[in-house]
Amino acid sequence: MQTLHFSNKKCSKILGIPSFGLTLVLLVCLASPISSCMEQEKGALLQFLAELSQDGGLAASWQNGTDCCKWEGITCRQDGTVTAVLLPSKGLEGHISQSLGILIGLQYLDLSGNSLSGGLPLELLSSSSITTLDVSFNQLNGTLQELPSSTPGRPLQVLNISSNLFAGQFPSTTWKTMENLIAINASNNSFTGQIPTQLCSTSPSLALLDLCFNKFSGSIPPGLGDCSKLRELRAGYNNLGGTLPDELFNATSLEHLSFPNNGLHGAIDGTNIANLRNLVVLDLGRNNFSGKIPDYIGQLKRLEEFHLGNNNMSGKLPSSLSNCTNLIIVDLKSNNLSGELTKVNFSNLPNLKTLDLWLNSFTGTVPESLYSCSNLTALRLSSNNLHGQLSSRIGNLKYLSFLSLGKNNFTNITNAIQILKSSTNLTTLLIRNNFRGERMPEDDIIDGFENLQVLSIGGCQLYGTIPLWISRLRNLGMLLLNSNQLTGPIPGWINSLSHLFFVDVSNNSLTGETPLTLMEMPMLKSTENATHLDPRIFELPVYDGPSLQYRVVTSFPTMLNLSNNNFTGLIPEQIGQLKVLALLDLSFNKLSGQIPQSICNLTKLQLLDLSSNNLTGAIPAELNSLNFLSAFNISNNDLEGPIPSGGQFNTFQNSSFDGNPKLCGSVLTHKCGSDSLSMGNSRFLVYSYMENGSLDDWLHNKDDDASSSLDWPTRLKIAKGASLGLSHIHDVCNPQIVHRDIKSSNILLDKEFKAYVADFGLARLILPNQTHVTTELVGTMGYIPPEYGQAWVATLRGDMYSFGVVLLELLTGMRPVPVLSTSKELVPWVLQMRSEERQVEVLDPTLRGTGYEEQMLKVLEAACKCVDQNQFSRPTVMEVVSCLVNIGI
């Protein structure tokens, strides 16, 4: 059966939509107009054209004096009736005119892949002729209006509104008029509320329902089990809760069932799952499911993808999994699964390409049957309790590209390297924290690994030297040999690895002077060399700690980490050649001499750690020109003279300079002069006197009587002033500044209650070609954006979240984080009340009944957009400024 594909960038999936009625689109191409189009229809099309601000060149074809049936993108029947308007990816901008609803014979409307904005005209949804409506991948916004209950039945079969900016409650009664619906794709919007419960009873032919990447809440409607023809059900990346309803498993035609990244919980019922015999994809990853994987999983003979990672599943991997002979992907990472993998006969899975069992508690050895999976491209068994040696049969995996075995108890690294070198397609080899206390393989005849890009053998306590065979890995981009017991110098051939940009040999016992060949590494000298890196993505994400994950090799920062060794001598002056270097760590060595002036040429540098050496002389003053330096440490040396001021130096912690008794500066007890405002180890930022203190004082630290509270006009004035201050550092300053600690106590008020954004002690500059700065997790509880807990990067969007919290404080008078444990946190409480349409109840009681409710609710809408969990849905500061300045005019 042919399928029509809806592309969805966020879901990273191809959405196949059954061709019931959709193959009729092919008939459009077969229609050959004979009669001219009717004047009324021509007028409707010209009205559509007139309401576009960018027509993508349509005006050249759409001329008033010509037959509209011959216009670009228009198809007519032989009687001249327009049946199709097909204008995908034409560069159209502007609003969709409701005049298209006048086209009484229009069956197919495709405006996808443009930049159209505004709402979706109700006339299109209520059309008595349109069967296929595709407006995906635009910038349409607002709510999707409900059709009146009195509307007669509509012929719509396919509705694709995915990847727009729609928000508000998803329609529930509209579908009662659309009994012919086959497919609904509303993914990648911001719809809220519950999933409609009656979809299947009103649209019995529904075959595809895609609601992923929205903000749906509540539980999964049991009524979805009544969809006897439903083949694809996707609702991942929402806020759904509860369990999988038993009735859902009555939808026995399901081929794709996907609910990842929600809050679902409970056990997975085996007898229920066995009802879905047609299932090809089952994705329940990143929820809170628990219990065992049911043996009945083996009855899903058509299953190709099984995603249950990032849950709380326990028990053994059922042997019946080997009955799913069509499996291609098995993702069970980050659970509590245990037992031996040998219980599963992997030789029955000839199509298996990806097996991800990372972060479980499996024991025993790698099953020999696994090496029969000749199509395997990605294998991750890291962070388990496996042991033994690698089998020579791993060489049977000719397509293996990604292999991660780290944090187990494997032995005999020499044997492992000799076996794996024949894996010619291997690009990523991660075997850290195994082979403990063994000797680093030094066999000079080791060759192979011709496509290897990432090699990680850290944390093994290997002894020996950096081996010569690594010099033959001509495509190597990342080398991690950290936390071993390696001795000797860094070999001179290091610069012959022309793709190498990430070197970590920290925590070893390496000796000698810093080799000058390190200063000649091509990838660290010029950005032009980066074009030679392989752009292919990892077969599986590579995790760096609990928060960061990488899908592309080139996403890693350029790094040279030689810390915790026994290097001696001077830091070479030639280090200034490494213009692309982002992270440089030479700490805990025995380096001497001065900090070379040339290090100030490393304008991309974000981290510089020279601590715990024997460095002398002054700190180069030009280091304060490294605007993107977010971490700096020269403690425990013998440096002297003044600490540079200005630039990023005003943000570094005092401990960065400890252990250098000859240093002086305002951040230290030892002052260089008397012009510094300091006390002990403290530093002070000096502001104009703010007569009215901070916003926090007025909202949370005043008496309870109404006379001491701020009225609404004053609060609105403060909101406007603070937004203008934030817009200055986000949009006027060059480079842009991310504040990282926007909160009510950092908004100061003068005698006229004019607001000033203050305290830039945590601020960072942002490179012009970047969207964030990598940093430690900082900020104030209640104001920290949720994404900061997943990746330690600070962004302008993070500031917008914090500012949204401030707006909510102004509206509610409540603290972001309650003082009493019985109270609710501000942001989730407001969002819940808003979803229940109880917005007025969140407003500060002292402000209610003052006549400003309409203004306050407008500000509330702006605030809720700012605290959107999806950082990419948050408005820019200029959008918020524009909203606020228009309130109260």
Count the neighbouring beta carbons within 10 Å of the beta carbon of residue 1.
7
Residue 469 contacts residue 447 (beta carbons within 8 Å):
yes
712-727 and 796-812 helices, crossing angle to 10°: 170
Q: How far is CA 617 from CA 233, 624, 721, in A?
A: 67, 17, 46
Q: What are phi and psi of 323, to 5 degrees?
A: -80, -15
Residue 83 contacts residue 108 (beta carbons within 8 Å):
yes
CA dihedral (261, 264, 266, 271) positive or negative: negative
Residues assigned a catalytic role: 741
- Cβ burial 428-454 (10 Å sphere, 16+ → b, else e): bbbbbbbbeebebbeeeebebbebbbb
DSSP SS3 for 741? coil
Q: What angle do CA 697, 699, 700 make, to 5 degrees?
A: 70
Q: How far apart are CA 154 and CA 131, in angstroms?
A: 9
Q: Judging by DSSP bridges, how do beta strands 682-683 and 678-679 pair with one another?
A: antiparallel
Q: How far apart are CA 313 and CA 749, in angstroms?
A: 53
Residue 82 contacts residue 105 (beta carbons within 8 Å):
yes
Helix (H) or strand (E) segment spanning residue 30: helix 25-30
DSSP SS3 for 429? strand
Count the neighbouring beta carbons within 10 Å of the beta carbon of residue 843.
21
Q: How far apart are CA 386 and CA 435, in angstroms?
A: 12
Query: If you search the block for the tokens 């216009």, which residue do you land on?
Result: 71
What's the one-letter identity of residue 739?
H
Q: What are phi and psi of 873, to 5 degrees?
A: -95, -5
Q: How far is CA 214 from CA 233, 308, 883, in A?
A: 14, 21, 24
Q: How far apart are CA 849 and CA 846, in angstroms?
A: 8
Q: How far apart are CA 595 and CA 622, in angstroms?
A: 12
* Among the listed residues 816, 815, 758, the one whose alpha carbon sits nearest the alpha carbon of residue 784: 816
